[in-house]
Amino acid sequence: MSQPTKHLSPFSGADSINANEIIDKILPYSETISYRAAEEIELQDVRVFYYVKKGVIEVSYISQDTKIPVALLGKGDFLGEIGFFDGGSRVRDIRATEDAEICQFNLSVIGKIHKNEPHLYGSLVTYISQRICKKFRRVLKENEPLTFYAASLSARRQSYTESKPLPVRFLKNSVWHSISQEIETAKAQLFNISYRLQQDSTSGQPDSHISAECFQLLDTITTNLGRYKEMMKSQEGLDLMWGFIFKEIFPYIMRSRFVERAYFKPKGQAGDFLMMEHIYHNQADGDGKLGKIIDAWCLQRPGAKAIRERRKLLASLLADFSAKFVKRDHRVKIMNLASGSNRELFDFIKECDYTEAIEALCVDIDSEALEFTNQNVNIFPHKATIHLENANPVKWTLGRARQQFGTQHIIYSSGLCNYLDRRLSQALITRCHEHLKPGGKLILGNFAPYADMTFMDEILHWKLIYRSPEDLKELFAGTPFGHNVEILSEPEQVNLFAMATKN
């Protein structure tokens, strides 16, 4: 008994369309064109679209002599389908970043499909139309601010928005009595310092003796926070205590630009690229003399020093590894995840004498960070190829990003793991392993537990996931890298780096 003929309905819903079946049926009609890595792709006509059968295709445009990728397309992606339908043309540079094969569909090919297999033609048009709709919906979604997501990474609870009276039973607690007395004393000392600074009109800069006194007071407050955390046993007591300390201390320290940006998180997270730039410049700024003193104190704390030192360490590692890869492959592909302003990358490129062999991909969710890189960092002569990709590294980690980044010699991230839990960190490590060439290097930074943790967590609400060297080794052990990992640190011993090699 013969089986009924199976037709592909042109009006099938998204869930019922078998994409693989459609692709398998239309590919024999197309012309397959092969391209070598780095070869430019010239589109034949507006009324043509393409299917990527193999490799990675980069679509980009030029801005201020820097190539800005619009999309990185891999196997299974279409190219030019919007122009095919609306007849519009866009000026874009298109090239293969790896050896690639693309299948060409022009009006003649589509006409043959329509004539020979009308049901297939209907399903193809429906399928491509659905892909275009998804593409526009995705673009709209990705252009929306991701403030809430970023905030959830760096602040695990909401700010103190209202002051509640302390329970009577809490006021009778001897531990609370001791802590509150110390905080009241510290607040009085801050007020006294502020008053003396206002009376000093001899200079626009804070008095050095008063500055030293304020530094010492802030050191004491920070040290005591850790002691208070140990003294207060119950979670209710901790919550009440942190609310009280914040209310008493924050009005003074918020005059610092560092504190202001860390707490209010104007871009959704404390460690955005402008905060990093402020730390790199190491120039105190704030409201009035007290604000500048507190800012100077923040900028000389171990965490800020570690960020400046890690920039030097990463530039040095990039130079060491790149020199080996360029000898082997005559080029070096580097990917920086959650790239910020990319200072360490350009520190390396500035001193490199083979920049024509460097191809760097800088990935960040913040388009302003990429613009800043292009306008303020990428300003000296070099021959490196710099790609600035606006993408969500976490979505890429989970395989939900539209971009295809290809394989790299070096993948690094200075701070992304500070915000990722164990599950996401291991997913990131595994994803990076997939995208490394044999012998490729992965470098991931993570803050270790250090003296200012409590101040950062409870006062500034700059929440990180701190990991020791043992924690990082254990994290990698559950990934394809296994135990093949080395732990490095900058001189402050605050910012650790896990360095792994793909066998």
Instruction: Give the model's pLDDT for residue 37.
Output: 84
Instruction: Give the model's pLDDT for residue 41.
Output: 86
Q: What is the number of H-type helices and E-type strands within the chain?
A: 19, 14
Work out the pLDDT band at 1, boundaries 50, 70, 90: very low
Q: Does residue 232 register a pLDDT over 50?
A: yes
Residues 313 and 215 in one domain: no
Residues 113 and 206 in one domain: no
pLDDT digits (tens, 9 = 90+) for 291-330: 999 999 999 999 999 999 999 999 999 999 999 999 999 9
List, as one string, the DSSP characters of 212-256: HHHHHHHHHHHHHHHHHHHH--SHHHHHHHHHHHHHHHHHHHTTB
Instruction: Give the model's pLDDT for residue 157.
Output: 44
Q: Does residue 417 register a pLDDT over 80?
A: yes
Residues 222 and 79 in one domain: no
* Sole residue written with tokens 């295709």: 57
SS3 334: strand
Residues 273 and 315 in one domain: no
Residues 228 and 346 in one domain: no
Instruction: Give the model's pLDDT for residue 137.
Output: 66
Convert 273-307 to b/e letters by CB count within 10 Å (16 or more is b). bbbbbbbeeeebebeebbbbbbbbbbbebebbbbb
- Measured CA to CA, the distance from residue 173 to residue 247 in angstroms comes to 20
| CB contact at 8 A, 207 and 200 | yes
Name the maximum alpha-carbon separation found in the chain. Answer: 104
Instruction: Tell me which residue range forms the domain holding 105.
Output: 19-143
Instruction: Provide the token pair at 362.
Output: 């800088």
pLDDT digits (tens, 9 = 90+) for 93-120: 788 888 899 999 999 999 999 999 999 9
| CB contact at 8 A, 182 and 224 | yes
Q: Which residue has the higher pLDDT, 27 or 204?
A: 27
- Measured CA to CA, the distance from residue 483 to residue 503 in angstroms comes to 12
Last-in-domain residue among 246, 274, 300: 300
pLDDT digits (tens, 9 = 90+) for 395-414: 899 888 777 788 999 999 99
Say what percent of the chain tops pLDDT 90: 65
| CB contact at 8 A, 435 and 408 | yes
Residues 453 and 442 in one domain: yes
Secondary structure letter of residue 458 according to DSSP: I
Residues 328 and 452 in one domain: yes
Give the pLDDT mean for 413-436: 96
- Please state the domain count of the chain: 3
Does 158 reside within a domain?
no
pLDDT digits (tens, 9 = 90+) for 51-98: 999 988 888 766 555 556 667 788 888 988 888 887 776 657 788 888
Last-in-domain residue among 300, 318, 343: 300
Does 1 reside within a domain?
no
Q: Which residue has the higher pLDDT, 60 or 417?
A: 417
Q: Does residue 279 register a pLDDT over 90?
A: yes
Q: Does residue 27 register a pLDDT over 60?
A: yes
Q: Does residue 275 register a pLDDT over 90?
A: yes
Does 10 reside within a domain?
no
pLDDT digits (tens, 9 = 90+) for 380-395: 999 999 999 999 998 8
- Measured CA to CA, the distance from residue 413 to residue 340 in angstroms comes to 10
Does 71 reside within a domain?
yes
pLDDT digits (tens, 9 = 90+) for 178-218: 999 999 999 999 999 999 998 887 777 888 999 999 999 99
Phi-psi region of 84 (alpha: psi -120 to 50; beta: other; left: phi over 0): alpha
pLDDT digits (tens, 9 = 90+) for 325-372: 999 999 999 999 999 999 999 999 999 999 999 999 999 999 999 999
Instruction: Give the model's pLDDT for residue 72.
Output: 73
Backbone angles phi, psi at 229, to 5 degrees: -60, -35
Give the pLDDT mean for 469-479: 97
The angle that helices 273-281 and 302-329 make with each other, rounded to 10 degrees, is 100
- Mean pLDDT rounded to a whole number for the chain: 87
Q: Does residue 225 register a pLDDT over 90?
A: yes
Whole-model pTM: value is 0.72
| CB contact at 8 A, 232 and 241 | yes
Residues 278 and 404 in one domain: no
Residues 330 and 256 in one domain: no
- Domain with residue 454: its CATH number is 3.40.50.150
